[in-house]
Chain A
């Protein structure tokens, strides 16, 4: 029996779980699988980074992602690129409309100044975890460190820019039940946390959980929305094709 014959039908939910607020986790996504993230109650933020598990030096590159698609915001149709000209994943569905990738993470100091320091000693797992430490912990599990922490995605959060370049954080950008689906175009190590966006204006440390599903993806067709969203994405997909031809991966 070949692996292909064991494949579930496209769209099948293979696994479903919940990431509580202020948590971090990492998963390895296979080429062709879909990660769907769902904002349970509205106002979620998911910090996210990608690495190539075969070469951890290849990582998500926010500048390349933005400039090659001539965009500051990320939504359906956009592809998320590595620094090696390849696509980690494509945003195949998005009910939010704007996700940002330039504002980074909360730090322990920032949480203390902005909200309140809640240590593990006094609050156990209801402590106020921060995004920077969350990534450091997940990175260390793979032998990586702060040198490897690239500019991250903040899914479900939006920040716009006016004519003078000033940043404006969008309040209530994501509503209860909003979701984004990432289809992986190569095997990818995904690091994520559910700590608040660093520009969140809430009076108290916002506790927002997300649900996530691993879904069997459909094969990418010639008329695929993301593949054809921009000419550049066509070339990005071509780079992935060459990468897989060269025997870098063989899970299909």
Chain B
């Protein structure tokens, strides 16, 4: 569902560009709103969320999908934790649909999907591994790397049970905005994947913008 935001970037309290292949980690406070902006279009932002006060509570794709009865995420979606609490709610979305089935790319899964020789191509999980290693204060490790959201990514499922990675439905300037229902760690990898259309074969920066 397309729903535009009423927030103005001039009123924001924080702005940070994230280059393709980099990670972003930060706590958003309860009742803050944050936006992920697809600056140039067709850029997947692989994202995980944790309760900042108890990171064992984290975003759960299964619980979110089942409780809303739909596999796609958009405005109105409540992002649930593994304890079935609402962590965030998507309050604006100009893309219309986001994926939470496809998971993140990893060097190991790239060997299966594309070729064993592609094991040294940069991948989202490597960005997350570096993020948890460089930011020990969050207390995260590989154990915490779970089933994520792919903002701006298009992974259609057919009624016969097929699933594919299609050209993005996002475009330059499209965004998704969430309001935090608890203090939440955002762990985002701006996807470096070059082997499928999720980034239009040309990964580009995204921007994170936060409002009080």
Contacts and interface: CB of A to CB of B under 8 A. Distances in A.
B157 A67 contact: no
A235 interface: yes
B71 A167 contact: yes
Nearest to A66: B163
A67 B56 CA distance: 26
Contact of B112 (A146, A199, A236): A236
Nearest to A199: B66
Interface stretch (B4-12, B14-22, B98-106, B177-185): B98-106
Contacts of A151: 61-62, 146-147
Given A71-B163, A85-B111, A161 B157 contact: yes
Contacts of B58: 147
A235 B143 contact: no
A226 B162 CA distance: 18
A146 B66 contact: no
Interface string A83-111: 11110000000000010001111010100
B102 A85 contact: no
Contacts of B102: 63, 66-67
Interface string B144-157: 11111000000101
Contacts of B162: 70-72
User: Per DSSP, are chain B's interface residues mostly helix, strand or loop, or mixed?
Assistant: loop
Given A63-B103, A66-B163, A167-B71, A150 B146 contact: yes
Contacts of B71: 102, 161, 165, 167
A57 interface: yes
B161 A67 contact: no
A166 B66 CA distance: 10
Contacts of A11: none
Contact of B159 (A62, A105, A162): A162
B163 A85 contact: no
Given A72-B163, A107-B84, A235-B112, A63 B157 contact: no
Contact of B163 (A70, A83, A152): A70
Contacts of A62: 103, 147
A145 B191 CA distance: 29
Interface string B122-156: 00000000000000000000111111100000010
Interface string B36-74: 000000000000000000001010111101100111100
Given A85-B109, A165-B97, A166-B69, 7 more contacts: A66-B163, A67-B163, A72-B163, A84-B108, A107-B84, A161-B159, A239-B116
19 contacts: A57-B143, A61-B109, A64-B109, A66-B102, A67-B163, A68-B113, A70-B164, A71-B162, A73-B161, A83-B106, A83-B109, A85-B108, A104-B66, A107-B84, A146-B56, A148-B143, A149-B82, A165-B70, A167-B70
Interface of A: 57, 61-64, 66-68, 70-73, 81, 83-86, 98, 102-105, 107, 109, 145-152, 160-167, 198-199, 232, 235-236, 238-239
Query: 3 tightest CB-CB pairs across the interface, nearest first?
Result: A63-B103, A104-B62, A85-B108
